[in-house]
């Protein structure tokens, strides 16, 4: 009985990881070559060029990785890689980008049209806990997940 919630959270996390990895440019050259913008553009996009320290270490680069938590009794998983973000919350799967708009924001679009988590502001990030406030008034507190610590030998997810 105890394994079911962990299996659901693991499955949701894997969906998010696969969605982030599937996010890419339609331009084949864009997938192979990293963006080589100016160093000031790179510093601005990573948040390292700001004079302020950010809000609790809340810069775009600090979001890289997978974060998990619960909201409304269900699992929430956020994965961020190379400025792309994928979120699974309950039955909703959303994809988008991490944007620096004076503060680090998540701009997402949910595949089912849900708008509960489409624009979020990173309130704090200490490297272990991440707090995101969504424009709908919801707030998620997520913990960094070490994917190498996930259990092995789990049954495969059945194909639809």
CATH number (domain holding residue 73): 2.40.128.640
- Residue 7 domain flag: yes
Residue 126 clears pLDDT 80, i.e. is over it: yes
Q: Where are the beta strands (DSSP E) in the chain?
A: 65-71, 74-81, 84-89, 92-100, 104-110, 119-125, 129-134, 139-145
Contact 99, 105 (CB under 8 A): yes
Residue 41: per-residue pLDDT: 36
Find the Cα–Cα–Cα–Cα dihedral 81, 86, 88, 92, rounded to 10°: 180
- Residue 121 domain flag: yes
Domain that holds residue 93: 3-23+54-147
Count of positions (residues) in the chain = 160
Mean pLDDT of 19-24: 46
Lowest mean pLDDT among 45-49, 69-73, 84-88, 101-105: 45-49
Mean pLDDT of 91-98: 95
- Residue 126 domain flag: yes
Residue 154: per-residue pLDDT: 67
- Residue 28 domain flag: no
Mean pLDDT of 69-77: 91
- Residue 11 domain flag: yes
Residue 52 clears pLDDT 90, i.e. is over it: no
Number of domains in the chain: 1
pLDDT band at 151 (very low <50, low <70, confident <90, very high): low
Mean pLDDT of 88-99: 94
- Residue 48 domain flag: no
Calculate the average pLDDT of the chain: 73
- Residue 85 domain flag: yes
The pTM of the whole model exceeds 0.85: no
pLDDT band at 5 (very low <50, low <70, confident <90, very high): very low
Residue 19: per-residue pLDDT: 46
């Amino acid at each position: 009985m105890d394994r079911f919630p962990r299996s659901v959270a693991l499955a949701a996390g894997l969906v998010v990881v696969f969605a982030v990895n599937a996010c890419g440019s339609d331009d084949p050259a864009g997938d192979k070559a990293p963006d080589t913008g100016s160093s000031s553009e790179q510093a601005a996009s990573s948040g390292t060029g700001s004079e302020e320290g950010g809000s609790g270490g809340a810069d775009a680069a600090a979001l890289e990785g997978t974060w998990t938590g619960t909201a409304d009794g269900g699992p929430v998983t956020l994965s961020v890689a190379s400025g792309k973000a994928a979120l699974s919350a309950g039955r909703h799967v959303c994809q988008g980008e991490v944007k620096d708009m004076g503060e680090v924001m998540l701009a997402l679009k949910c595949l089912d049209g849900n708008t509960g988590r489409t624009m979020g502001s990173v309130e704090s990030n200490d490297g272990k806990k991440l707090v995101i406030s969504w424009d709908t008034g919801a707030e998620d507190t997520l913990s960094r997940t070490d994917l190498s610590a996930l259990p092995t030998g789990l049954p495969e997810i059945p194909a639809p």
